[in-house]
Each structure stands twice: as structure tokens, then as C-alpha cells.
Amino acid sequence: MNRLVPNEGELMDRIEFFGGAVFVPVFLVSVGLILNPAVMVKGETLGLAGLFILACLGGKALAAQITARLFGFSRAQAGLLFSLSAAQAAATLAATVIGFQLGLFSSAVVNAVLVVIFVSVLASTIVGARASGHVASPQGPSPLGTRVVVGVADADAAAGALTIAHRIARADGGVVHPVLVVPEAAPFAPKQALARLREVVSSVGVDGQLMTIVDRSVLHGALRVGRAQEATLVLVADPPGEQDRAAAASPAAADRDSPAPPVALVRGNAARLGVVRTRVEADDAHGPGIVAEMARRVAGGPAQELGDDHDDWSRLLAPGDVTFVSAELGETLVGLPHAADGLVVSAVAEWLVREEADADGAPELPGDAAGA
């Protein structure tokens, strides 16, 4: 089940706290009660410990060297391989204790294993500390689903965007952060809306930090949180009957040095997803790659591609079906129904994302793509 729990989610924090506060101390105390310190200094125990250390650390060192030669790693990288695999602790101790309780091992073996654990942990720590200083930190972007922020204005229209975000994050072992965007000057009950959004988030299975922000638009609020959280992707759920307002943005905004995550806009609502398709214009330079990446993660493999001959691609949408389109097709989404015909996910051009993130006004997405 550990693979199903996001590392940065609230559930993982509670699991780690409960394990560290209850299970680990109870286990260590129970092991300590069956040990006899006088046995650890006997010749039989020390002899067994020496053999175990030679087999354990020698085998790990040999495996690290062979792997380093096969993959062309440096000596420092080989040292890291050894340090990350040499330490013996919980699993080794648990297996030894079970063997002792079944009568397979004597108390000398249990105490020898404790010596092995001490030596292996000490050796791996020293080698790892020395080797890490000679290995450069890897540089490169994080996977798309590492940290996904979902901007929502209407909790009842959030299930589709949250389900897509959950699929994308799960493929990369990431986490989803839902954000309720409250209008600046509108009668609104944030507590009731937040409670309703919490219900929707729980039903979808998302385990992330739920936040509330007051902003002029859903898109701008989601971008603000995305940049603050160092998000790898921002999804914006289209609120029925609302549009992000604006002035035209200039392509010159692409030259601004303002870091902003990729953004996609989701229209439609469905908790269960069906067929996943992609539709990308050949001359679109603003997002074919991000469209394909999102579709592949949601589909769990290659998505169905629609060519230029599928101008009526919106009619193929059945309830629950998802079509990922590039930024150039966003203007065609204005004619789509909001819920009955499935979901449409439109990428947003990078220069327009930067304009929205940096402008004091409220730039408009071309052709009402903000409602896509």
C-alpha cells in the first residue's frame, strides 16, 4: 500500500508519525528484551559477526563495483551505490527475531546480527558522506506529476479536474494540491464551499494539502499557488457560467524571465474516465509535448491520436471521455457543453501563462480558452 500513498500527502505524514511514535519503539524494546548483552562478547558471537560482516559488506561492495563498471559510473558513484545498499537494519533484525522465535537461530546468532547492523550502518554512513562530496547533484526538470496544483472555483465542477490530476500525479508518485479560489468582490461562503470541496477531494481519492486563496480569477489564483508551491503542473477547473476576464496579451511576454509551471484548463466534470484522446494542431508551437505527456499519464499508456481530418472531434466525446488539445484549439472549446459530453483539457501557451502571472490586470485567454 505504500506505493499508493503520495510521499508529500497528509496521509503519509500521519503514517510516518504513527510508525515512528508507536511501532518502531515497541519493536525495538521487544527485541531488546530478548537480548543478552553478556553473549555479545563471547568468541562464538564475534566469530559469527565477522563472517556475517564479510558476507554482507563484501557482497554489497562487489555488486556496487560490477554495476559501476557495467554502467560506466565513477568511483564516487560506486561508493554511493555501496552506501545506499549496505546498511542492514529493520528487515534484517525482524527476520532474525522471527527465526529466533521459531527456534531456527540461537541467541548468539541474534547478537551477531546486532553487531552486523551496527557495523553496516556505520560503514554506509561514512562511505556515503565521503562519496557524496565528489558527486555532482543531478540537474533537470522534475517529472510532470511531481506536484500538481488544481485551481477550483466551484466544488461541484471539480471532480473532473481532480480525477485527471490524480491520474497524472499517480504516474510519477507525486501529490495533488487542490486550491479553492474565492472571488475578491462577490458574496461567497468559503466555509461551506471548502467543506463541499473537501468531500469531492475525498471521493476522488486525492491526498494533498487543501488550500484557500482570495484572488481576481481562478487562473491567476492557481498560478500564484503553483509558483509558490513550485508546482510541476497547474490545472484549472472551468467554473460553469464564469470566465477569466482580460486584455490581449502580447507574444513579447514570452521573453520575460518569470518562472511559471505549465498550465492546462479543464472543461467538463466526471469522476470516472473513459477513452483518452489527443488532438494537436500541426502548426501549434505552444504545447504538443505537454499535451502528449498529460494524455499518456492519464491513459496509462499511448492515447488515441486524432488527426487533422477529425475537425468534429468534439462530437466523439462520450460521458467520461477525455480529449487533450493544444493551445491553438482552445478557442473551439467555447461551443462545447460543460458536463454531458465528457472532458476537454486544453494546454495554455507559455507566453500567455507568463503574461497572466506577471500582469497587474486580468489578461484574457484567446477565444475564451479560460473556460476550456
Q: Distance between CA 6 and CA 13 in Å, rounded?
A: 10
Q: Among 33-37, 143-147, 324-328, where is mean pLDDT lowest? A: 33-37
Do both 87 and 152 map to the same domain?
Answer: no
- CA-based R_g, the chain, Å: 27
pLDDT one-digit tens code per residue, 108-133: 888 888 888 888 889 999 998 988 88
Residue 189 in any domain: the answer is yes
Q: Which residue has the higher pLDDT, 54 or 311?
A: 54
All residues at 6 or more sequence positions from 236 whose CB lies less than 8 Å from its CB, including other chains: 150, 151, 161, 218, 219, 222, 263, 264, 265, 266, 370
Residue 120, domain member (yes or no): yes
Pairwise pLDDT comparison (231 vs 187), residue with the higher score: 231
Average pLDDT of the chain to the nearest whole number: 77
Determine the pLDDT at residue 212: 87
42/158 same-domain check? no
State residue 21's pLDDT score. Answer: 87
Q: Is the pLDDT of residue 286 over 60?
A: no
Which cell numbers in the block locate residue 250?
502580447
Q: Which residues have C-beta within 8 Å of that of residue 221, sequence separation ≥ 6?
A: 151, 179, 181, 213, 214, 215
E strands, the chain, in order: 147-152, 175-183, 211-215, 233-237, 263-267, 276-279, 304-306, 322-325, 343-347
Is 44 in the same domain as 185? no
Mean pLDDT along residues 266-272: 81
Which residue has better confidence, 239 or 29? Answer: 29
pLDDT value, residue 199: 87
Residue 160 lies in a domain: yes
Q: What pLDDT, on a 0 to 100 scale, did the predictor assign at position 82? A: 92
Tell me, yes or no, whether 4 lies in a domain: no
Is residue 156 located within the same domain as residue 95?
no
30 has a pLDDT exceeding 60: yes
Q: pTM for the complete prediction?
A: 0.64
Do residues 249 and 295 share a domain? yes
**Do 207 and 317 lie in a common domain?**
yes
How would you classify the pairing of strands 147-152 and 233-237? parallel
Which band of pLDDT confidence, cut at 50, 70 and 90, is reported for residue 256? very low
Best CA proximity match to 231, nearest among 304, 165, 136, 163: 165
Residues 152 and 47 both lie in one domain: no
In a domain, 142, yes or no: no
Is 279 or 257 the better-scoring residue by pLDDT? 279
Tell me which residue of 261, 264, 292, 299 sits closest to 278, measured CA to CA: 292
Q: Is residue 204 part of a domain?
A: yes
Shared-domain flag, residues 113 and 219: no
Domain boundary among 99, 132, 165: 132
Q: State how many domains the chain has.
A: 2
Bridge partner list, 312? none
Out of 133-142, 201-210, 215-224, least confident range: 133-142
Answer whether 321's CB lies under 8 Å from 345's CB.
Answer: no
Q: State how far the Cα of 224 lies from the Cα of 204, in Å rounded to an integer.
A: 24
- The single-letter code of the amino acid at 278 is T
Backbone angles phi, psi at 263, to 5 degrees: -125, 140
| 288 and 179 housed in the same domain | yes
- Predicted confidence at residue 339, as pLDDT, reads 47
* Burial label, 370 (beta-carbon count in 10 A; 0-12, 13-18, 19+): buried
Mean per-residue pLDDT for 207-219?
83
Final residue in a domain of this structure, among 108, 132, 156 = 132
In-domain check, residue 20: no
Domain limits for position 118: 34-132
Q: Could you tell me if 262 and 293 are in contact, meaning their C-beta atoms sit under 8 angstroms apart?
A: no
Q: Judge if 184 and 312 occupy the same domain.
A: yes
Same domain, 225 and 357: yes
Where do we find the cell 466551484?
Answer: 154
- Residue 37 has what DSSP assignment? G
The CATH number that applies at residue 346 is: 3.40.50.12370
Which pLDDT value is given to residue 260?
73
Report the pLDDT value the prediction gives residue 245, as an integer from 0 to 100: 38
| Cell numbers placing 1 | 500500500
**260 alpha carbon, distance to own chain's centre:** 18
Sign of CA dihedral 308, 285, 170, 371: negative
Residue 223 shares a structural domain with residue 301: yes
Backbone angles phi and psi of 310, in degrees to 5: -100, 65
- Specify the pLDDT at position 257: 47
pLDDT in tens, 312-365: 666 777 778 888 887 665 555 555 555 456 788 888 766 556 655 555 444 444
Specify if 202 maps to a domain: yes
Q: Which residues of 346-363 are buried (b: 16+ CB within 10 A; e: fewer)?
A: bbbbbbbbbbbbeeeebb
CA distance 331 to 320: 22
What pLDDT score does 305 carry?
83
pLDDT at 47 over 70: yes
Lowest mean pLDDT among 17-31, 252-266, 318-332: 252-266
For the segment 97-118, the average pLDDT, to the nearest whole number, is 85
216-249 per-position pLDDT tens digit = 888 888 888 988 888 889 999 876 544 443 333 3
Per-residue pLDDT tens digits for 147-181: 999 999 888 888 889 999 998 988 888 889 999 98
